[in-house]
Structure 1
Amino acid sequence: MAGNSDPLTPRAKLAVTAGKAVAAASRAAGRGSGSVIGGRVALKLDPDLLARLAQNLDCVLVSATNGKTTTTRLIAEALRAAGPVVSNALGANMPAGITSALAGGSDAKFGVIEVDEKYLAGVARDTDPKCIALLNLSRDQLDRAAETRMLAENWREGLAGSKAVIVANADDPLVVWAASSSPNVIWVAAGQMWKDDAWSCPSCGGVMQRPGDDWFCGECGFRRPTPSWALSGDHVLDPHGSAWPIHLQLPGRANKANAASSAAVAAVFGVPPQVALERMYQVQAVAGRYDVVQFEGRDLRLLLAKNPAGWLETFSLIDPPPTPVILSVNARSADGTDTSWLWDVDYTRLTGHPICVVGDRRLDLAVRLEVANQQFQVCENLDQAVQLCPPGRIEVIANYTAFQDLRRRVGN
C-alpha cells in the first residue's frame, strides 16, 4: 500500500541505476526505448526489484488479448484525478518492461500496469495489486501462446484466492471462468463481438448456448454472471443504475467497452464515474493507434489489429467505401509466426473498398482476399500502395510489427 518509507535496498538502487544507464545507452544507439533491456539488467542485479518498486504503490493490472494498452491509458488518465500515476504506457508488458516503467515513477501513488496474458499470475504475485482488470481472451500468436482455454486456466489458478478486486468482462465466458476463482469480482457487461473462441464451455467442454446477449452451458449450468456495471450505447451504467455519458476521442464500440471497464476500475480507487470518464477524453491516440498522419499528400489513419477479434472490431471503425484500405501483415516473432489466423477473419466486410496489400506476408493475405472475392493489389511497400490511392483519407490496418514498420516510415 502507498506510504512514504523508501522500500529500496542499496542493491535495488544499484539495479535501478544500472537499468536506467543501459536503457539510455540503448536509446542513444537508436535501438528503441531501451525499457526492456534496462529492465532485464535491473532484474538480473535484483530479482526482487519489481516487488520492491510496487511496494509503495496502489497497483492495478490490466490483461487481455485485445484492448489492454488502450485500457491502461484510460485508467491511468482517470486515476490521475486522485494522485500521480506511473504506467508502462508504451506497452512493454512483460516483467522487464514493467520493472523499467515502475523504476521511473518515484513520486507515484498509483501503478497502472499492462501485463501480457502469459505473465499475469507472476506479476500479480510480485505487485500485490489492489485491482486486476480482465477484458477478454481470444486466439493470438498461435505458435506460442497455446490455446485460449490454457491461458484462462493459468489465470484461474494464478488468481485463486487473490486479495485483489477483479474487474472482469461478464460477456466473455473464458474471462468469467478465469475470474470465478477469486472471492471479490466486479462484473462489467462490456460486450463481445468476437465469439469464436468461446463456443465450448471452459468448465466442462459442453456446448455454449447464446440466446441474445446472454450465454450459458447447457451441460453444467456455468452461466453469465449478473453485471453491476454495463456499457449501454454511449453510456456507462454504474451499480446504482445511473447512466454516465462516454465522450472519447478514440473511435469505435470496443473503446467504449474499454472505457466502461476503466470506469469500474477507477471506482475501486475512489474516483467517481463522471470524473473518470471526463478525464478519459484527454486520450487522443495510444502508442500511435488511431493517429491520422499526413504522408505523400494523403491522410493515413493508423489502425492496429493483431488477431481475428481485433480485425473484426477494426472493420467496424473504418470509413465506408470507397475509402481505400491498406492492409499490412508480418509474421515475425513478436507477431507469432503462424498466419493461419487470417482464415478466421471475415474479409468480405471490406467489399467495395479498394484494397492494397503490403508487409512481409502480403502473399498469404493476398490468397485469403482472393478466396473472399475481394479486389486488391499487392504492393512492394507502403509508398507504392499510397501512390495507388487517390488524395484524401486512407485507412491503414496492420498487425504488430507491421504497425511499428509503418510508424517508422511515416515518421510517427
Structure 2
Amino acid sequence: MAGNSEPLSPRAKLAVTAGKAAAAVSRAAGKGSGSVIGGKVALRFDPDLLARLAHHLDVVLVSATNGKTTTTRLLAEALRAGGPVVSNALGANMPAGITSALAGGSDARYGVIEVDEKYLAGVARDVSPKAIALLNLSRDQLDRAAETRMLAEKWREGLAGSDAIIIANADDPLITWAASSSPTVVWVAGGQSWKDDAWSCPSCGGVLQRPSDDWYCGECGFRRPTPTWALHGDHVIDPHGVAWPIQLQLPGRANKSNAAMSTAVAAAAFGIDPKVALERMYKVQAVAGRYDVVSYRQRELRLLLAKNPAGWLETFSLIDGPPTPVILSVNARGADGTDTSWLWDVDYTRLAGHPILVLGDRKLDLAVRLEVAGLRFRVCADLEEAVGAAPPGRIEAIANYTAFQDLRRKVGN
C-alpha cells in the first residue's frame, strides 16, 4: 500500500534521468512520445524501479480487452477529487510505459494505471495496488495474446490472495472466474454485449446457460455472483439502491459501463462520492483522440477506434443510420496483431445501407470480408480518395490501432 513518499536511491534517480533522456531523444527524432523506450532504458538501469516509483502511491490497476484506456481516463478524473493523480493516460500499458508514466508523478497521491492483459499479474506484484478493476475478456491479437480462458486462468492464479480490492464485471463469466480467487471482490453488473467468447464454463468446460441477464453452469454450479453495483440504463445503482445519473460527453453504452465501473472503484476503494466522481467524468470529451470530431476537407470526421470483434460491435452501435458514410481502415502491424482472421467474426451487415469506404494496409482482406457479407463498398488508395468520395457532412471513421494512429496524423489530430 502507499506510504509516505521517500527519496529515490541514487541508482533509481539515475535510471529516471536516463529514461527521460532516452524519451526526449525519441521525441526529437519523431518516433512518438518516447514513453516505451524511456521506460525500457530506465528499467535496464534499475529493474526494481517500477516498485520504487509506486511505493508512495495508492495505485489502481485497470485491465480488460476493451475499454481500459477510457476507464483509466474516467477513473483518473474521478480520483482527482481526492488529490493529484499520475496515470499512463495515452495507453502505454506494458511495464516500460507504466514506468515512464510513474516517473513523472513524484507529487501524486494516486496512480491510475492501465495494464495490458498479459502483464497484469506481474505489475500487480510490483506495485502492490489498492484496487484492481477487471472489465472484460475477449479474443484479441490472436498471434500474440493467450486464448481467453487461459488468460482468465493466469489472472486467477496471479491474483489469488491479493490484498487489493478487486472490482469486477459480474456479467462476464471469464472475469468472474478470474476474480473469484481473490478474498475481496466488489461485483458490478457492467453488461456484456459480446458473448461469443464466453459460452463455455471457465470452471469445468460445460455449456453456460444464459436466461435473460443471468448466467450459470448447469454442470458444476459456477454462476453469476450477485452484484452490489449495477449499470441500469443511464444510471449507476450503488449498494444502497441509490441511482446516480451518468452524464457523459463520450458516446455509447460501453462508456456508460466504463463510467459505472469507475464510479464503483472510486467509491469502494477510495471513498470518492459517486456524485462527485460522475460530475468529474463529464469533463472528459475524448480519450487519446478517440471520439474526436475533426474538420478535414470540408467534412466532419468522427474518429472511432475498434481493435477486435467485441470492440467493433460496440462501435457500430454508435453510428447513426444510413446514409452516413463510413470509412473502415485496418492494418496488421505489430501493435495490431498480424492475424486478421478476426475480421470474419465481425457482423459487418450492421453497416448495410451506408456508403462504405475501405482503407489500410489490409484493405483487401477487409474487402473480401465485406463482399462475402453482401455489402457495397469502395476500396480507396488513401484517406483523400475516401473523403472525396463522400458527400459534405459527417463521416464515421473506424480503424484498428495503428490505422487509427495513421488517421490521426493525417488529419492533424
- TM-score calculated relative to the size of structure 2: 0.99
Residues 328 and 358, structure 1, Cα contact 8 Å, conserved in 2: yes
TM-superposed CA distance for 1:176, in Å, is: 0.2
**What is the match of residue 273 of structure 1?**
274
Q: Residues 293-332 of structure 1: matches in 2 within 5 Å?
A: 293-332=294-333
Residues 7 and 55, structure 1, Cα contact 8 Å, conserved in 2: no
Cα separation, 1, equivalents of 2:256 and 2:293: 20
Q: Report runs of 4+ in structure 1 exceeding 2 Å deviation.
A: 1-5
SS of the equivalent of 1:294 reads strand
**What is the match of residue 90 of structure 1?**
90
Cα separation, 2, equivalents of 1:144 and 1:407: 25
Cα separation, 2, equivalents of 1:136 and 1:7: 37
**What is the match of residue 46 of structure 2?**
46
Cα separation, 2, equivalents of 1:147 and 1:102: 30
TM-superposed CA distance for 1:46, in Å, is: 0.2
SS of the equivalent of 1:61 reads strand
TM-superposed CA distance for 1:148, in Å, is: 0.4
Cα separation, 1, equivalents of 2:111 and 2:319: 33
TM-superposed CA distance for 1:3, in Å, is: 3.8
How many residue pairs get matched? Answer: 412
Q: Residues 111-150 of structure 1: matches in 2 within 5 Å?
A: 111-150=111-150
* Structure 1 unpaired stretches of 5+: none
**What is the match of residue 23 of structure 2?**
23
Query: After superposition, what is the alpha-carbon deviation per residue over 1:21-41, rounded to whole angstroms, capped at 9, x for unaligned?
Result: 110111111110000000000
Residues 199 and 208, structure 1, Cα contact 8 Å, conserved in 2: yes
Cα separation, 1, equivalents of 2:29 and 2:303: 27
**What is the match of residue 78 of structure 1?**
78
**What is the match of residue 181 of structure 2?**
181
- Aligned identity (percent) is 83
- TM-score calculated relative to the size of structure 1: 0.99
Q: Residues 88-237 of structure 1: matches in 2 within 5 Å?
A: 88-237=88-237
* Structure 2 unpaired stretches of 5+: none
Residues 306 and 400, structure 2, Cα contact 8 Å, conserved in 1: yes
**What is the match of residue 351 of structure 1?**
352
Cα separation, 2, equivalents of 1:265 and 1:139: 25
Cα separation, 1, equivalents of 2:327 and 2:346: 16
**What is the match of residue 401 of structure 2?**
400
TM-superposed CA distance for 1:320, in Å, is: 1.3
Cα separation, 2, equivalents of 1:29 and 1:85: 29
**What is the match of residue 34 of structure 1?**
34
TM-superposed CA distance for 1:7, in Å, is: 4.4
**What is the match of residue 410 of structure 1?**
411
SS of the equivalent of 1:168 reads strand
Inter-CA distance 369–5: structure 2 relative to 1 (3 Å threshold): closer
Cα separation, 2, equivalents of 1:3 and 1:275: 25
The amino acid that maps onto 1:122 is G
Residues 136 and 169, structure 1, Cα contact 8 Å, conserved in 2: yes
Moved more, 1-10 or 109-118: 1-10
Residues 2 and 54, structure 2, Cα contact 8 Å, conserved in 1: no
Cα separation, 2, equivalents of 1:61 and 1:5: 20
Cα separation, 2, equivalents of 1:307 and 1:56: 36
Residues 167 and 186, structure 1, Cα contact 8 Å, conserved in 2: yes
TM-superposed CA distance for 1:146, in Å, is: 2.2
TM-superposed CA distance for 1:2, in Å, is: 3.7
Cα separation, 2, equivalents of 1:3 and 1:202: 37
SS of the equivalent of 1:284 reads coil
The amino acid that maps onto 1:321 is P
Residues 7 and 56, structure 1, Cα contact 8 Å, conserved in 2: no
Root-mean-square deviation (CA, aligned residues, Å) is 0.6
The amino acid that maps onto 2:299 is R
**What is the match of residue 379 of structure 2?**
378
